[in-house]
Amino acid sequence: MCGIVGYIGNKKAAPIVLDGLKKLEYRGYDSCGIASCCTGIQIKKGVGKIEEVEKIHTLADIEGNLAIGHTRWATHGGVTDENAHPHSDCSGKICIVHNGIIENYESLKQDLTSKGHKFKSDTDTEIIAHLIEEYNKGDLKEAIFQALKKVEGAYALGIISSDEPDKLFAARKESPLIIGVGEGEGFIASDVPAIVNHTKKVMYLQNERVAVITKDDIEVFDLEGNKKKPIIREILWDAALIEKQGYDHFMLKEINEQPKAIEETINGRIKGDKVDLSEEIKLTDEEIKKISNIVIVACGTSWHAGLVGEFMLEELARVPVEVEYASEFRYRNPVLGKNSLIIAISQSGETADTLAAIKEAKAKGCRIISICNVMASSIARESDSVVLTHAGPEIGVASTKAFTSQLIVLYLITLYFGKIRGILDDFIVKCRIRDLRQLPLFMRAVLEDTEKIKDIAETYYNTSNSLYLGRGIEYPIALEGALKLKEISYIHAEGYPAAEMKHGPIALIDKNMPVVVVATQDNITYNKVLSNIEEVKARGGIIITVATKGDKVIASKSDTVIYIPKTSYILSPVLAVVPLQLLAYYIALKRGCNVDKPRNLAKSVTVE
């Protein structure tokens, strides 16, 4: 949700910043811009994706060894050239890029207007440039401290001034920002992909800190001006991971990376025939036994993973679980006890709603475990412990490999808790681990057999509505399949528990309505799902099923079947979601949609 990049060093800054912005375009892509400091500040910006703006404004051409850039996902103010970042003060000397939302911007703007400041945009961001100008008495760092003390809300900021051309300033509260340390050069960025080609040494700027970066040094301060020690970490990523590596889209690459991602996520967590998460979860066996209930908080696809986790944990570890939209959780005064455990799930680790839910639960004295894909992200740092998904960087806006890796972590936690709580014995755990180890192989088989999915996409890509049905642990997969389709193809899709269809959505069924049914196993509700399929057929609907290989009964009732290998019912979501990801992908492709950058969406939603 908005991407920031900045550079200071001996090289020409604008091309480096531009390159970084391209790597961050998944965070926002309605407009972009760069400001560079040479003999003064020069800004180039405009509406459109970076490629389009670059053609008109030749962003990389600006001279100077100090520059900041931004790719925007609009919050305050429409998508216009004026509202694109960077923004400057009245003098044109102070220039900033911002990710986040300034909540008290209207009152600040009124105040600054009454003092004679003239605004050029409708953004909340611009007030920060003017606020710094207002406090600037010759020491920009001091002015930044003063200004940020007045600001309410979230910010990650890159700031430059023609009066201090040898410094790149950065500041952060809630929105993510990292600082890269190179040889004779420094970087700032919203996320690692922007700078990993240049340096693997990074510092995660903490909340309410200001950094002053020169080409040879970094100093970090709190808002009172007290110096803080910078902690530099080494990024373990391979830069190649953020390239498409021959795939047409990141989404397709990431779908295909899933067997590897789940292998990596399992690796090192199974010792002999046991799951061992003790070092990551950091709860004693006694504490695990005492857990009275678990509340899972998450958003979007991660929330769907939570719903699968609820099923796993209740079935195999017998702990009561509730799954909450993180955005709702904090506004409904949840009842939590001292033995309640919170599990926060987030691919990015930066989702503002999930972060806020964690803070709410923390304030109520709960212990927080997070499941994140980004080490040292805000959610990981706010939590008492973190179990990482080792999916590798996920660039496509629609989440795929992070989702299946989240399911694997939830399964591992389930087995770990189930054993310690005395629900699962050694033999059952051993069998469940054997099922888990088979998954990457099974998933590769699903990925190798995509012709059927492409045919279905070819037949139905022109549809305007669709329904996704599933029961039990497959219901969240119906939700996830529907979400994937709507977000990248813009076809209206609804996910429903299959049995609920007769309570309303059945009214939508006609001969133009494809109904995707996930019914992979013969569990207690399988026969009932078959009846639901009959109900759809009786009304002329089109049935596409995701079923277990060899299931001829379901084939006889469906217009088309996508088969997946047989696995245990509790792990079937990990396989069943893959054809639905591919179906959404191929349909979106046929419709000419921008799969990796769907309209109105951004990868990491850092505003509430």
Per-residue CA distances from 400 to 118, 253, 405, 435, 577 (Å): 45, 10, 9, 21, 9
Query: Least distance (Å) from ligand F6R to the CB of residue 402?
Result: 7
Cα separation, 73 vs 52, whole angstroms:
16
CA angle 335/341/342 to nearest 5° reads 85
Tokens of 332: 């409904």
| Residues in a beta bridge with 467 | 494, 515
Residue type at 289 in one-letter notation: K
Measured from the CB atom, the residue of 347 and 521 that comes closer to ligand F6R is: 347
Q: C-beta of 307: minimal distance to ligand F6R in Å?
A: 13
Closer residue to ligand F6R, CB minimum distance, 262 or 605: 605
Compare residues 251 and 453 and give the one whose CB is closer to ligand F6R: 251
Contact call for residues 219 and 168 (beta carbons, < 8 A): no
Query: Please, what is the minimum distance in Å from the beta carbon of residue 235 to ligand F6R?
Result: 19
Q: Report the alpha-carbon angle 267-404-381, nearest 5.
A: 70
The distance of closest approach from Cβ of residue 67 to ligand F6R in the complex, given in angstroms and rounded to an integer, is 28
CB nearer to ligand F6R: give 161 or 604: 604
Q: Are 265 and 409 in contact (CB under 8 A)?
A: yes
Distance of alpha carbon 489 from alpha carbon 505, whole angstroms? 21
- Please, what is the minimum distance in Å from the beta carbon of residue 393 to ligand F6R? 12
Q: Give the whole-angstrom CA distance, residue 321 versus residue 334.
A: 14
Minimum Å distance from CB 343 to ligand F6R? Answer: 13
**Measuring CA to CA, which residue among 209, 264, 215 is closest to residue 236?**
264
Q: Which is nearer to ligand F6R, 84 or 488 (CB)?
A: 488
Cβ atoms of 34 and 47 within 8 Å: the answer is no
Residue nearest to ligand F6R (CB): 300
Q: Extract the tokens encoding 590.
A: 């046929």
Say how far apart CA 582 and CA 327 lie, in whole Å: 29
Q: Which is nearer to ligand F6R, 125 or 347 (by Cβ)?
A: 347
CB atoms inside a 10 Å sphere around CB 106: 12
User: CB of residue 34 vs ligand F6R: minimum separation in angstroms?
Assistant: 27
Q: How far is the CB of 191 from ligand F6R (least distance, A)?
A: 11
Catalytically active residues, by annotation = 2, 603
Q: Which is nearer to ligand F6R, 42 or 604 (CB)?
A: 604
Amino acid at 14: A
Residues in contact with ligand F6R by the rule CB under 6 A = 299-302, 346-348, 351, 354, 398-399, 483, 487, 604-605
Identify which of 579, 358, 353, 608 has the alpha carbon closest to the alpha carbon of residue 457.
579
In the complex, the smallest distance separating the C-beta of residue 313 from ligand F6R, rounded to whole angstroms, is 19
Contact 272/425 with Cβ under 8 angstroms? no
Which is closer to ligand F6R, CB of 3 or CB of 541? 3
**Going along 259-339, which residue ranges are E strands?**
270-271, 274-275, 293-298, 321-325
Q: In the sheet where 94-99 sits, what is the strand order?
A: 87-88, 94-99, 155-161, 168-173, 209-213, 218-222, 227-228
8 Å CB contact between 577 and 403: yes
Beta strands in 139-184 (DSSP E): 155-161, 168-173, 178-182
C-alpha gyration radius of the chain: 25
**125 or 354, CB closer to ligand F6R?**
354
Structure tokens at 201: 């040494």
